Structure 1
Amino acid sequence: MQIADEIVQHIRAGVLKPGDMVPSESELVERYGVSGGTIRKAMVEVRASGLVHTRHGKGSFVKDRPPVRSRSSDRFRASHRRGGRAAYLAESEQAGATAKVSVLFVGPVAAPDEVAERLGVESGSQVLARRRLYFRNGVPVETATSYLPWDVVRDIPELFAENPGPGGIYARLEDAGHAFAEFVETLQARSAARAEASELGLGSGAPVIHLVREAITSTGRVVEVCDTLMAADQFVLSYRIPAVD
């Protein structure tokens, strides 16, 4: 732990700069006079800090990936949608980052059990899925799949397009008369599966945040379930919690 703490402090102090390679195992063994096993354990702790990434056969490198501040109580403001900005673009703009969204899939799918339950539809019934990969300054940071009830989307052709237009899918749903009352998010921290880590450019077993959001209208209907996976080292989640009824 002492070795790991010293390496982390070197990174935070700028002794090791973004893009620099962390000294190799043999160098660290010689420097600290300990076994290779001790160094490997120390590097597990360093990687857990989210400050480095490991390239197979090449070593560990300091990340140039400052966290995005995700303002969960602000990012879905109606004013953003009226201004033509979807939540992720508004969030990135506030962070001074360059955002890009790559649409991986748009089309009908059978609703997974948990999604169907949240949407209030039969398991396996047809829903519209929209899967995206989000980038910040050219780095993949988040994947998200939105599931929307078929009876809600079938008369909104923009939702079947890769680009649904200014303000994103929530703006198109509002245009169709679905007024939002609230968004409910459930978060869980866990390790990334191998395929998930590969898609986000993370090391095997890297920490991720699994977030599931329900978009609920003023009539109490859930019109979207968004299943999101976020690189944990990229996000600081900030919430505003009212202290009054």
Structure 2
Amino acid sequence: MAELPLPDLDPTSDRAVFRQIADHIRHAIEQGILAEGDKVPSEAQLMQHYGVARMTVRNALQVLQGEGLTVAEHGRGVFVRSHPPVRRLASDRFARRHREQGKAAFIAETEGAGGKPAVDSITITEERASADVAERLGITSEDHVIARSRRYMIDGQPVETAVSYIPAEIARDTRIAQPDSGPGGIYARLEELGYRLDHFVEEIRSRIPLRDEVRALKLAPGVPVFHLVRTAYATGGRAVEVCDTVMSSDAYVLSYELPAR
């Protein structure tokens, strides 16, 4: 254990032994003693250092994996998890200036932060609106919407998935219904169609990811997601889009500027 000095167990503590071990390794990660990609001491090394059974060590390592701090690679060991690049979700990300520059919000913000943005897994369908989407758009469940589903990447790592729902009467037979919606994204196309955007309403909550979300975002065990639902309103108050977004929580910082009046 010369490469990674770890404290001894505290026999007077009422904290379970496996949790003390997890605390020591977590501290080493938080202090940068163990960096992203570094290998955590093996089960045998930890057993020898602490004088405990293999199951105790495994329980400690499972705690760290459950917290999303480490990942186990079959036949290689346990490693400190590499986190995706953090993107700051700012309150002005949908400012008109981005669209006027021909860039959708995700691309503009990611490039501004020095990252390499990409969008893949784009699918487009026309379908009946769900009850929730219909209510948010102010239409009926008999009405159709154009659904645009995609996944966003930063530097090759997936960070979020999103599905936009736009009333079919607006989007049908336009570039909004095509895989490449053009410069500035669908918000630029909506404004070209005469729906000048006025404001957005967002609802955000944190939750445990679904199985498909874990796969799509390549989430480590224990990493929750932000579930964000945004409604875009045009001048006059008409809702023109609902976007249902799932984001890896360790890839984002939510940052908002709020007026005091």
What is the TM-score of this pair, normalised by structure 2? 0.84
From 124, 135, 148, the counterpart of 1:117: 135
1:114 is paired with a residue whose SS is helix
Stretches of structure 1 lacking an aligned partner (at least 5 in a row): none
Q: In the aligned structure 1, how far is the partner of 2:53 from the partner of 2:157?
A: 35
Answer whether contact 2:98 2:108 (CA < 8 A) is retained: yes
Within a 5 Å distance, the mapping from 1:152-191 to structure 2 comes to 152-154=170-172, 157-191=174-208
2:46 is paired with a residue whose SS is helix
Q: CA deviation at 1:67?
A: 4.4
Answer whether contact 1:214 1:224 (CA < 8 A) is retained: yes
Q: Say how many residue pairs are matched.
A: 243
RMSD: 2.2
Counterpart of 1:206, as a letter, is: V
Do the aligned partners of residues 34 and 134 (structure 1) sit closer, same or farther apart at CA in structure 2, a change above 3 Å counting? same
Quick check: which has more Rg, 1 or 2? Answer: 2
Within a 5 Å distance, the mapping from 1:85-96 to structure 2 comes to 85-96=103-114
Q: In the aligned structure 2, how far is the partner of 1:242 from the partner of 1:45?
A: 41
1:178 is paired with a residue whose SS is coil
Q: In the aligned structure 1, how far is the partner of 2:258 from the partner of 2:240?
A: 24
Stretches of structure 2 lacking an aligned partner (at least 5 in a row): 1-18
2:228 is paired with a residue whose SS is strand
Do the aligned partners of residues 123 and 27 (structure 1) sit closer, same or farther apart at CA in structure 2, a change above 3 Å counting? farther
Do the aligned partners of residues 95 and 62 (structure 1) sit closer, same or farther apart at CA in structure 2, a change above 3 Å counting? farther
Per the alignment, residue 210 of structure 1 pairs with 227
Answer whether contact 1:103 1:130 (CA < 8 A) is retained: no
1:241 is paired with a residue whose SS is coil
Q: In the aligned structure 1, how far is the partner of 2:80 from the partner of 2:140?
A: 47
From 57, 61, 78, the counterpart of 2:96: 78
- List per-residue Cα deviations over 1:132-158 (Å, max 9, x = no partner): 011111111110000111111125x11
State which drifts further: 35-44 or 198-207: 35-44
Quick one: percent identity of the two aligned structures? 47
- List per-residue Cα deviations over 1:81-121 (Å, max 9, x = no partner): 11111111112123211111014311212222211211112
